[in-house]
Amino acid sequence: MARTAGQRSTQRLTNSVRWLNHREEAAWRAFALAMAKLRDTLESQLERDADLSFIEYHSLARLSDEPDHTLRMSELAAVTNASLSRLSHLVSRMEARGLIRREPDPTDGRFTIAILTNAGYTKLLESAPGHVATVRALVIDEFSAAELQELRGFSERMLARIETFTRD
Amino acid sequence: MARTAGQRSTQRLTNSVRWLNHREEAAWRAFALAMAKLRDTLESQLERDADLSFIEYHSLARLSDEPDHTLRMSELAAVTNASLSRLSHLVSRMEARGLIRREPDPTDGRFTIAILTNAGYTKLLESAPGHVATVRALVIDEFSAAELQELRGFSERMLARIETFTRD
DNA sequence: CAAGATTGATCTGTCAATCTTC
DNA sequence: GAAGATTGACAGATCAATCTTG
């Protein structure tokens, strides 16, 4: 359903906009900047030390979480927060590198199963220490246990709102 | 300077890795997911309602912060957290759309000045309400003033660590 | 025909030159 | 020659088909 310029789902019908006050704006800018730089820094560390992007690393990691090192493509897409199309291209490349392979699901041919290869598992084991050390250095080690629980709580509250927002 | 596979700047010399415990892992996963979804949601809202990417919106916004609606390319790159190369490509596209234009700095020809056009300013005024409403809906309105200050504090502490980490 | 998955075209970002001005 | 900026080639992501299986 097309939307004309004046009809924005997120805009009130009145023309009164609740702008951010100074404190809100400062908090938002700091948080937005931290998110961007955190992502960039984790990406560079993985790319430099392991020749993996963040999502490639997490594809290996999420597969390794499974007892049989296996997930359907659509499940892997869900847990890595990627579109199926993006994941399909990405797994094609990782398949060419021998890190993941694919097979049709024997129980239902509509599904494709992504399987962590031995080489892929080895790659994960090699790159995990450097990645975890970076996550510690940038985030975890900065905070007390209580603060980390707060950060988790904040994150979950935002996730709940994103869920609601995206549903509409 | 090339780095061999075994030498990772972020890995200790011992082979003891401080893995994340369950709480740390849960906090990190929630936070990482919230960051990814927040970014995706803000990107889609802007793309859908204003035909702007997050960084395109912020290029307009940061230029509009200046009294003369002007910044050097390198300054704009810094405040939008983009590489100069990325920004150069991006501004070329926005220039073609008439939202920004460029001129050599008359005081020193090595610099290029990016200038917000009237059309670019209008575009920003049109898209700001929807974007701000989304930031409110997803983040700001979820938290009390005190919690927002905490979130800001957390973000600034992470930024300080990122700064130190990236410096090395 | 619906859901899962893939594909190809297009767009954007990155990296490594290259160009320009001082 | 160094800093700012641009460029072009390539890698990766998105979007809209398309294909396949049940």
Q: What pLDDT score was predicted for residue A168?
A: 76
CB A151, CB A143: distance < 8 Å: yes
Instruction: Inform me whether the pLDDT recorded for A167 exceeds 90.
Output: no
Give the mutation candidate from A25, A41, A132, A147 for the B interface (greatest B CB count, under 10 A). Answer: A132
Positions of strand D less than 7 angstroms from a protein CB:
2-8, 12-17, 20-22
- Which amino acid makes up residue B68? D
Instruction: Inform me whether the pLDDT recorded for A23 exceeds 50.
Output: yes
A12–B148 C-beta distance less than 8 A? no
**CA A149/CA B121 separation, integer angstroms:** 42
Binning pLDDT at 50, 70 and 90, where does residue B3 land?
A: very low
- Across the interface, of A33, A138, A154, the residue whose CB is closest to B151 is A154
B158–A139 C-beta distance less than 8 A? yes
Tokens of B93: 């596209």
Give the mutation candidate from B57, B81, B136, B150 for the A interface (greatest A CB count, under 10 A). Answer: B136
- Stretch B15-40: mean pLDDT, rounded? 96
A138–B162 C-beta distance less than 8 A? yes
Q: DSSP string of chain B? A: ----TT--TTS-SSS------HHHHHHHHHHHHHHHHHHHHHHHHHHHHHS--HHHHHHHHHHHHSTTSEEEHHHHHHHHT--HHHHHHHHHHHHHTTSEEEEE-TT-TT-EEEEE-HHHHHHHHHHHHHHHHHHHHHTGGGS-HHHHHHHHHHHHHHHHHHHHHHH-
Angle between helices A118-138 and A54-65 (to 10 degrees): 110
Pairing assessment for the beta strands A112-116 and B100-104 based on DSSP bridges? unpaired
Residue B6 or A153, more confident: A153
Binning pLDDT at 50, 70 and 90, where does residue B167 land?
A: confident
Q: What pLDDT score was predicted for residue B12?
A: 47
State, as a whole number of angstroms, the distance between the CA of A129 and the C1' of D1.
Answer: 41
Q: What is the mean pLDDT of chain B?
A: 92
Backbone torsions φ then ψ of B135, nearest 5 degrees: -60, -40
State, as a whole number of angstroms, the distance between the CA of B33 and the C1' of D11.
Answer: 25
Instruction: Inform me whether the pLDDT recorded for B1 exceeds 70.
Output: no
Q: What pLDDT score was predicted for residue B14?
A: 58
- Across the interface, of A24, A33, A134, the residue whose CB is closest to B148 is A24
